[in-house]
């Protein structure tokens, strides 16, 4: 094979690299939004639906003589800092019989303030409200809740309160909090793995883009040395399109420069590969380290499945986890495809150095590339 033919083959693979890098960026754009909210929803379903029953009725007490009482609409006081708040909407607040109520929102937390008409009457009151809980911002579950306000100690013998008592007593026989804590621990372990997966995937793609940019800089230097201003301008534009992740624009620019690059000497392509290889290897390793293990996925799903079938949050949490797992597995598959491509590309680099007679460089690159093996 002539040196020109070797150079021509390297041109084609270099341009393919640019295209694939942009495709990977497109994948990240689709998978990039954090799925942490899904797990937040799952914990919400397990924790809060157990506390209040399926209708999430509120039981609020106020002291005799108090002029008002303020409380969260659908969260306990311990959950006011929860990132889940963004998935909740409250509306259609009913009118109390013996007072007034106002709904307000602050820092993504919906809350009520209730004023009794006569604070000294010690009269209990109630009102209804509607609220929805969005599952990862797409599916929406709507509820109708009832707020029961008692003056003094709450009366748990009221018929509406039986919803809460029934939900609490039928959930677990022995130690519900301990079992629920175990489930949440498994869910949070999966959440942490998913966040690491997302961060590693994005970092790996950023490194691949850096590799493309550094490789193109070598070609730009060649264009400048040969006073080919058209090629230099096109390559500089290509660098910008790679950074912007514009797949159509990248394809258009590559079509324009293929002919101009065909005459680049072999030494230019070898230099380009030397510049790109370290970033590609690092990118491959980073993406591989972010994969979520099957054991981590299985533990979280199995933990929810093992809850009592009567658990009020079980069905919703399982549905959310299944959605999250599908997203994680999609990322895992994309990461595997990505590293497979990077491994193949590095094998091509090794072959290129071997064909060019650079045996020492080929051997060193082959050794360095083992960390990115299939």
Tens place of pLDDT per residue across the chain (374 aa): 566 566 566 666 666 666 666 666 666 655 555 666 666 666 666 655 544 333 456 778 888 889 999 887 764 333 433 445 445 678 889 999 999 999 988 766 778 999 999 998 889 899 988 877 654 444 556 777 788 888 876 544 443 333 333 333 333 344 444 566 677 788 878 878 888 888 888 888 888 888 888 888 888 898 999 998 888 888 888 878 777 767 677 777 777 777 777 777 888 888 888 898 999 999 989 988 888 898 998 888 888 888 877 776 677 677 778 777 888 888 888 888 888 888 888 888 888 888 888 899 999 999 999 888 65
Residue 95, pLDDT score? 93
* Orientation angle between helical segments 161-171 and 36-52, nearest 10 degrees: 110
pTM above 0.95, yes or no: no
Please give the pLDDT value at position 191.
Answer: 79
Cα 104 from chain centre? 30
Q: What is the pLDDT of residue 89?
A: 75
The tokens describing 226, both together, are 């040969």
* Per-residue pLDDT at 303: 85
Question: Tokens in use for 289?
Answer: 């380290």
| Strands 58-62, 99-106: pairing kind | unpaired
- Distance, in Å, from the CA atom of 222 to the CA atom of 237, rounded to the nearest integer, reads 15
3-state DSSP assignment of residue 190: helix
pLDDT of 180: 67
Write down the pLDDT at residue 99.
Answer: 95
Reduced DSSP (H G I as helix, E B as strand, rest coil) percent helix, strand, coil of the chain, to 5: 65, 15, 20
* C-alpha to C-alpha distance for 64 and 214, rounded to whole angstroms: 73
Rounded to an integer, what distance in angstroms lies between the CA atom of residue 218 and that of residue 276? 10
Using CA atoms, how far apart are residues 143 and 140, in angstroms rounded to an integer?
Answer: 10
The answer to whether 206 and 15 have CB atoms below 8 angstroms apart is: no
| Residue 115: its H or E element | strand 109-116
Domain boundaries, the chain: 3-37+181-372, 58-159
What per-residue confidence (pLDDT) applies to 80? 35
C-alpha distances out from residue 201 to 187, 304, 338, 339, Å: 21, 28, 10, 11
For the chain, report the end-to-end CA distance as a whole number of angstroms.
28
Give the number of other CB atoms < 10 A from CB of residue 180.
Answer: 20
**CATH class, range 58-159:** mainly beta
Long-range Cβ pairs for the range 291-296 (8 Å, 24+): 291/197, 291/332, 291/335, 291/336, 292/190, 292/193, 292/194, 292/196, 292/197, 292/328, 292/331, 292/332, 293/193, 296/189, 296/190, 296/193
- Residue whose entry in the numeric block shows the structure tokens 């209990």: 124
Torsion over CA: 74, 76, 80, 82 (sign): negative
């Amino acid at each position: 094979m002539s040196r020109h033919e070797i150079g021509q083959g390297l041109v084609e693979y270099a341009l393919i690299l640019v295209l694939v890098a942009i495709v990977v960026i497109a994948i990240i754009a689709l998978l990039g939004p954090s799925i942490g909210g899904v797990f937040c929803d799952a914990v919400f379903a397990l924790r809060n639906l157990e506390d209040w029953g399926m209708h999430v009725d509120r039981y609020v007490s106020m002291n005799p003589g108090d002029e008002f009482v303020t409380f969260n609409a659908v969260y306990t006081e311990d959950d006011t800092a929860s990132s889940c708040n963004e998935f909740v909407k409250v509306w259609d607040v009913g009118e109390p019989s013996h007072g007034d109520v106002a709904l307000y929102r602050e820092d993504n937390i919906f809350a009520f303030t209730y004023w009794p008409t006569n604070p000294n009457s010690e009269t209990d009151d109630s009102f209804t409200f509607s609220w929805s809980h969005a599952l990862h911002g797409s599916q929406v579950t709507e509820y109708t809740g009832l707020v029961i306000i008692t003056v003094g100690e709450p009366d748990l013998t009221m018929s509406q309160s039986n919803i809460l008592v029934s939900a609490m007593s039928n959930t677990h026989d022995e130690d519900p909090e301990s079992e629920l804590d175990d489930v949440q621990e498994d869910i949070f372990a999966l959440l942490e793995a998913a966040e690491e997966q997302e961060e590693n995937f994005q970092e790996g793609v950023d490194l691949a883009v850096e590799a493309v940019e550094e490789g193109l800089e070598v070609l730009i230097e060649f264009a400048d040395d040969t006073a080919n201003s058209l090629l230099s301008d096109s390559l500089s534009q290509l660098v910008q399109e790679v950074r912007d992740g514009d797949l159509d624009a990248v394809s258009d620019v590559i079509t324009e420069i293929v002919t101009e690059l065909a005459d680049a000497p072999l030494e230019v392509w070898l230099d380009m590969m030397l510049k790109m290889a370290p970033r590609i290897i690092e990118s491959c390793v980073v993406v591989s380290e972010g994969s979520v293990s099957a054991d981590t996925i299985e533990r979280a799903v199995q933990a929810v499945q093992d809850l009592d079938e009567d658990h009020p949050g079980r069905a919703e949490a399982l549905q959310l986890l299944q959605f999250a797992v599908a997203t994680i597995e999609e990322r895992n598959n994309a990461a595997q495809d990505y590293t497979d491509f990077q491994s193949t590309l590095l094998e091509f680099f090794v072959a290129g150095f071997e064909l060019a007679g650079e045996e020492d460089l080929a051997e060193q690159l082959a050794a360095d590339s083992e960390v990115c093996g299939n």
